[in-house]
């Protein structure tokens, strides 16, 4: 399903500026602009800095400082953002490898500094397969009842991709992931779900993204982690959602950058308009900062939004002709993952990226649609991992797949599958304890025709947060069994 029309539930701490400029102050950009809004307006004059301080976030005052005020911006153009990025990268080299916690998150589950990549340089990528991915045709069991329940949809054994050391196989469209399994850098989870999980898309997504089963929550599991590890001024580039506003990133004190479609994220202007002059005009309205909160919020958003346009233009992967699948709101997993790889290579302090792709609600004529979707996922992940390797970033990235539920064990009368419970997940990364299937599909104890939950997905989330350095148990109301998913355990 597509969440583009879902209202952003992100709560606003008292006194914060609104997330978008008031009517009449829009930049004239495309619908659903990036939500780059630091939590409170900075003073007009930049405060003194300390050599011992951590790198200064890429904020409005930094943008204006590098530009030399508004006077020279037209001449500088896109170089302003590049200078900020270079400065951030240079400063980050001196940053100590430490894990920051707050009073909201005691240190009991914060891990020691690792011998490898420091925690604050690691990036977690969550690939959201919205709509309810069919686990049984993605990670295929050798149990004969799979074929009994799916006389039309069961995949021919000769086409399946073997996973050595197990009696499971992969859908043939995921063949590109086979080498990662064989190299020991990929693991799979079968039968993942949460208690009191609904078959409703909205309720199930709320449960998966909040990680609070059976109750409503104003925050997402990653948003709570971002809140707990916030140190100083909020940097909206610390967490980025591509392809959709992931509810997992909703925090009380932090805001993420949300870009629906990187390919169309641009400053929309009239034909033959002088873009540099328009940029200068927009930036000129940012000083002096108004005493009216609503106007100050609009002023504050302008430089960050223009900067984000430059950023996305420089790294958008697009996917290329080699990743041709049916349109998905203009996005493909392959294209969005290439954009994610470009952001990671900029080394601007991004720690969490969500990549959202929809279309997995396969009630009818599933076989062809699901094969195309999984081909996009499999080829996209493989290209993403190859790009990380080529850029020298493979050791600092973990990728985890999610979907709000699985499908019914039996096919329906429309050559498709209906909403179910237990799903499947994949983990790929340098410290993933690969080559193993955790959990399974319990065909002996179907619940209303569904594969029951074998693994609480908060165990997968726990492994992901541990890999980021924690805190973990406090964020997920744990502890939850880590299931040996990480080699460092």
The pLDDT tens digits for 95-142 are: 322 233 333 333 334 444 455 799 999 999 999 998 999 999 999 999
Name all contacts of 87-92 with Cβ < 8 Å and 24+ positions apart: 87/62, 88/55, 88/56, 88/58, 88/347, 88/348, 88/349, 89/346, 89/347, 89/348, 91/55, 91/56, 92/55, 92/121, 92/347, 92/349
Mark the ranges of the chain whose per-residue pLDDT is less than 70: 1-115, 198-202, 245, 262-276, 278-283, 285-287, 294, 297-314, 316-330, 489
Q: Give pLDDT, residue 298.
A: 65
Q: Give pLDDT, residue 90.
A: 39
Backbone CA torsion sign across 383, 85, 248, 9: negative
Q: Give pLDDT, residue 53.
A: 36
How far is it, in rounded angstroms, from Cα 402 to Cα 399?
A: 10
Q: Please state, as a whole number, how many other Cβ atoms lie within 10 Å of the Cβ of residue 485.
A: 26
Domains defined for the chain, CATH in brackets: 107-265+327-476 (3.40.720.10)
Q: Give pLDDT, residue 283.
A: 65
Q: Give pLDDT, residue 292.
A: 78
Q: Give pLDDT, residue 232.
A: 86
| Sole residue written with tokens 């990226």 | 353
Name all contacts of 64-72 with Cβ < 8 Å and 24+ positions apart: 64/283, 64/286, 64/287, 64/303, 67/283, 69/287, 70/280, 70/283, 70/284, 70/286, 70/287
How far is it, in rounded angstroms, from Cα 41 to Cα 288?
A: 12
Q: Give pLDDT, residue 105.
A: 33
Q: Give pLDDT, residue 371.
A: 98
Q: Give pLDDT, residue 184.
A: 96
| Sole residue written with tokens 């005009």 | 281
């Amino acid at each position: 399903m597509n969440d583009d029309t879902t209202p952003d539930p992100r709560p606003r701490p008292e006194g914060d500026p609104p997330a978008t400029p008031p009517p009449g102050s829009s930049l004239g950009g495309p619908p659903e602009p990036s939500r780059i809004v630091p939590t409170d307006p900075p003073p007009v004059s930049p405060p003194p800095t300390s050599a011992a301080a951590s790198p200064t976030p890429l904020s409005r005052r930094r943008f204006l400082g590098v530009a030399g005020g508004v006077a020279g911006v037209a001449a500088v153009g896109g170089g302003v953002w590049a200078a900020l990025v270079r400065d951030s990268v240079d400063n980050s080299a001196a940053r100590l490898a430490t894990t920051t916690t707050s009073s909201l998150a005691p240190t009991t589950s914060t891990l020691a500094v690792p011998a490898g990549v420091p925690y604050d340089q690691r990036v977690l990528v969550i690939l959201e397969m919205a709509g309810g991915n069919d686990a049984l045709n993605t990670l295929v069991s050798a149990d004969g009842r799979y074929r009994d329940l799916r006389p039309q949809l069961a995949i021919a054994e000769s086409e399946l991709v073997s996973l050595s050391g197990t009696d499971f196989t992969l859908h043939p469209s995921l063949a590109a992931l086979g080498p990662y399994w064989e190299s020991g850098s990929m693991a799979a989870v079968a039968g993942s779900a949460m208690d009191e999980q609904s078959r409703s898309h909205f309720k199930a997504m709320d449960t998966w993204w909040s990680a609070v089963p059976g109750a409503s929550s104003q925050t997402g599991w990653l948003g709570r982690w971002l809140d707990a590890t916030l140190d100083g001024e909020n940097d909206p580039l610390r967490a980025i959602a591509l392809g959709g506003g992931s509810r997992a990133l909703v925090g009380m004190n932090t805001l993420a950058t949300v870009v629906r479609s990187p390919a169309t994220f641009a400053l929309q202007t009239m034909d033959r308009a002088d873009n540099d002059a328009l940029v200068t005009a927009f930036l000129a309205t940012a000083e002096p900062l108004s005493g009216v909160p609503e106007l100050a919020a609009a002023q504050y958003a302008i430089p960050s939004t223009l900067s984000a346009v430059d950023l996305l233009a420089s790294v958008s992967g697009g996917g290329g002709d080699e990743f041709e699948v049916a349109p998905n709101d203009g996005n493909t997993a392959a294209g969005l993952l290439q954009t994610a790889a470009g952001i990671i290579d900029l080394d601007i302090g991004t720690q969490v990226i969500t990549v959202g792709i929809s279309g997995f609600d396969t009630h009818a004529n599933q076989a062809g649609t699901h094969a195309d979707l999984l081909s996009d996922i499999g080829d996209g992940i493989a290209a993403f991992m190859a790009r990380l390797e080529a850029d020298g970033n493979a050791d600092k990235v973990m990728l985890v797949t999610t979907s709000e539920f699985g499908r019914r064990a039996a096919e329906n009368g429309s050559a498709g599958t209906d909403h179910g419970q237990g799903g499947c997940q994949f983990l790929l990364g340098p410290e993933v304890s690969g080559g193993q299937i955790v959990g399974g599909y319990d065909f002996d104890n179907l619940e209303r025709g569904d594969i029951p939950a074998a693994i609480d997905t908060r165990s997968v989330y726990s492994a992901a947060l541990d890999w980021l350095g924690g805190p973990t148990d406090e964020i997920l109301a744990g502890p939850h069994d880590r299931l040996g998913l990480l080699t460092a355990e």
